[in-house]
Structure 1
Amino acid sequence: MTAVTPLRRAGNAVLEPVPAEPARAGVAPIRPEPTRPRETGPTQTGPVPARLALAPAPDDEAREICAITRATVQAAIEVLAGTRPIHQLARRLDQRCLTVLQHRAALTRRVAARSPRKMGLLHRNASVRSVRACGVTPDVYEASAVVIDELRVRAVAVRLERSKNIWRVTALEIG
């Protein structure tokens, strides 16, 4: 069988044939692929920027924001109840939100010490019922959550901002 040598093309012009490598004993000859110019259509404008190619789909990002919000709100309510240490939220909350939450937890504990009967049920068995998120910009989301405990239903508002590919809570309002 004779070896077929592919042709190199440039546009519509046929250039010279690509020489085939000589056959060596026991090694199959390697034939280079013919080179063809890249065809560009009217919708192809060039390479996709790296940020767009690696960015998650909007639905995936919204689900991620809702999951982060749910976990953060649940942890914040547990801090207010006194069942979780506040330092566990240090990575997720910025410093101002962390200070405000710590102050509110201290006030809650002080009030609970005065009237233990009613305050003993406050923040007990709290659970996050629903979370909704809305994108403000690609790096900023605002979310709301509904939290139910034994005494009442609360609304929680959260603002998340992306900083170095990490979502941080920059505003936390617990109603």
Structure 2
Amino acid sequence: MSAMTSPRSAAEAPVPPAAPLRLVPGGADPPGGPATASVPPAPLPRLAEEERAICAISRSTVQAAIEVLAGTRPAQQLARRLDERCLSALQHRAALTRRVPCGASPTAGRLHRNATVRSVRACRVSADVYEASAVVVEELRVRAVALRLERSRLAWRVTVLEIG
């Protein structure tokens, strides 16, 4: 037999690509034909806008928390943004920072001074939860800050605040 008339084995035969499946509520086929796979994509512009808002909230909250530790801002200004546990932990840490005498260490009087938030990153955990991290640069050191934000009554509240 010649090469043009030789029969192909089943293993050599080309396999047509399978049509993707589309999930339709109720299990019915769409009017255009059988079910083909496509799940509606998440609205990217809305998620990107929400992530920018979370980064802005995180940035301002971290800046304010560092100012509380420096003693230049009262902790009660963060009462609407932080939950009760975070607020009391921040107040406790600020009180401990103020108790350190300035002569006890060469850096004691300059802790948390002139701090600026360098960068903020946010990651969506679920529809109502984000986790964020921030880099804070001070005179003497660089700090990392981790936050967990949860939506409550259409407002975002920080439920975890860890300042390194």
Does the alignment reach a TM-score above 0.5? yes
Q: After the TM superposition, which residues 22-61 of structure 1 pair with which residues of structure 2 at under 5 Å, given as runs? A: 57-61=46-50
Deviation at 1:112, TM superposition (A): 3.9
Q: After the TM superposition, which residues 1-175 of structure 1 pair with which residues of structure 2 at under 5 Å, given as runs? A: 57-113=46-102, 115=104, 117-175=106-164
Deviates more, 1:102-111 or 1:115-124: 115-124
SS of residue matched to 1:157: strand
What fraction of aligned residue pairs are identical, expressed as a percent? 70
TM-score (norm 1): 0.67
2:124 maps to a residue whose letter is G
Q: Which structure: larger Rg?
A: 1
Aligned residues, how many?
A: 126
Deviation at 1:111, TM superposition (A): 1.2
Deviation at 1:118, TM superposition (A): 2.0
Is the Cα–Cα contact under 8 Å of residues 102 and 109 in structure 2 kept in the other structure? no
SS of residue matched to 1:57: helix
Aligned counterpart, 2:39: none
2:62 maps to a residue whose letter is V
TM-score (norm 2): 0.71
Runs of 4+ in 1 over 4 A off after TM superposition: none
Q: Which runs of 5+ in 1 are unaligned?
A: 1-39, 43-51
SS of residue matched to 1:91: coil
Q: Which runs of 5+ in 2 are unaligned?
A: 1-29, 33-41
